[in-house]
Structure 1
């Protein structure tokens, strides 16, 4: 999607901003204004712009990214900020144990042995 965007819209100025309105660069207020305008048009008034950051963070975590990677990607100054906001999204040890045990039982009960030594 970003490649298509770059094909259609060349980044402006020496800084090469990826998202802008001509020479006008989004700041926090203008980005928020555009988001509110768009979400009203599509009937998503309940979602704030910051929800997109949490959605992105949860996708990174679900894909297995570690806390430092998520911290740097979101621009947090410390891991504790990331953990305070999103620690509930990382799998707990109990979740990993249940998943590992379920996988092991599935192999033992439902997969055919590959050789006589596996029996």
Structure 2
């Protein structure tokens, strides 16, 4: 960062060698502040990314880890799409749809042991 700062101010090595101690301290102070700002920006971007993609705040984030999670998510989504396509094809026959709805009704029916308010 110091090199960039020096480039921006067109300071060459000769000028750097002759720079006063006070001036170097000033540059170091500026650079420390820039590092703090960049660290905070990284934390903000990382937090937003974690929140957007449901990543645990304490889990480390790396490109490889994110790509692995993405691969798992894609595999699950493809499986869900296949299942939905199969269901859609099966429900084209109204008899299959009625049978499925009856099964759902039986599964969701309250049992004799469930509390039923009067």
TM range (shorter): under 0.3
TM-score normalised according to structure 2 size: 0.28
The structure that has the greater radius of gyration is 2
* TM score, norm. by length of structure 1: 0.28
